[in-house]
A and B are shown apart, each in its own frame.
Chain A
């Protein structure tokens, strides 16, 4: 079974802090994704990566950056956290090829105070 592990289930930070959210997958998937999920807005893509050191902006990249130094790990960075970044953050991975589903981690509920 595919395992996508996010480092924290719950996290509380203060405005202005630099925040790191970590995601690790154990299935050698090429593609990894970071989403945020907010009520009424659904899942929105922040960034994704299709290979080590490669990244692409999603629909809402502002205020975020990412890092993929190793194939199994994809980090989301909030450069200077703001209260409007309070959300549920979900990481996903998938292999190459059409029809391959994304596999999600359990999510990190992040609160910015």
Chain B
């Protein structure tokens, strides 16, 4: 089966850098997704990692280590609008995704 762990909540200051961690255990690995979800809204896709290493997309980067079962999402130059929940998810066999419970990030001025 699959198991995903993320911290429940994090706080950070505008302009800072924050790292949101995700550890997972899967019976077979087919990549890892990160989604952002603002309160009351739908999750939106941020990134997909299938190979080890860091992938950068503007202010957001995502890192994967398959041997350690570990990923993180790095947010730079934090803005107030980055206050949201960040969901880590891994595919299971047959098109499904298993989601972590999400990390709620609060960015303060």
For the complex with contacts A42-B99, A45-B96, A107-B42, 18 further pairs of A-B residues with Cβ separation under 8 Å are: A33-B96, A42-B87, A42-B100, A42-B101, A43-B43, A45-B97, A48-B96, A50-B94, A96-B95, A98-B91, A99-B31, A102-B45, A102-B97, A103-B45, A104-B42, A105-B42, A106-B42, A107-B40
Interface of chain A residues 70 through 113 with chain B (CB within 8 A): 90, 94, 96, 98-99, 101-107
Q: Interface size on A (CB < 8 Å)?
A: 24
State the A residues within 8 Å of B (CB): 4, 31, 33, 40-43, 45, 48, 50, 56, 58, 90, 94, 96, 98-99, 101-107
* Complex alpha-carbon distance, A50 and B95, angstroms: 8
Question: Would B95 and A31 count as touching, CB distance under 8 A?
Answer: yes
* Residues in chain A near residue B97, CB distance under 8 A: 45, 102
Secondary structure type dominating chain B contacts: loop
Question: Chain B's nearest CB lies how many Å from the CB of A58?
Answer: 7
Secondary structure type dominating chain A contacts: strand
* 9 tightest Cβ-Cβ pairs between the two chains A and B: A42-B101, A104-B42, A101-B45, A43-B99, A31-B95, A42-B99, A106-B42, A104-B43, A99-B48
* Residues in chain A near residue B44, CB distance under 8 A: 104
Question: Would A41 and B30 count as touching, CB distance under 8 A?
Answer: no
* Complex alpha-carbon distance, A109 and B54, angstroms: 36
Interface residues on B, range: 20 to 34
* Complex alpha-carbon distance, A103 and B45, angstroms: 7
* Residues in chain B near residue A41, CB distance under 8 A: 101
> Looking across the interface, which residue of chain A has its beta carbon closest to that of B95?
A31
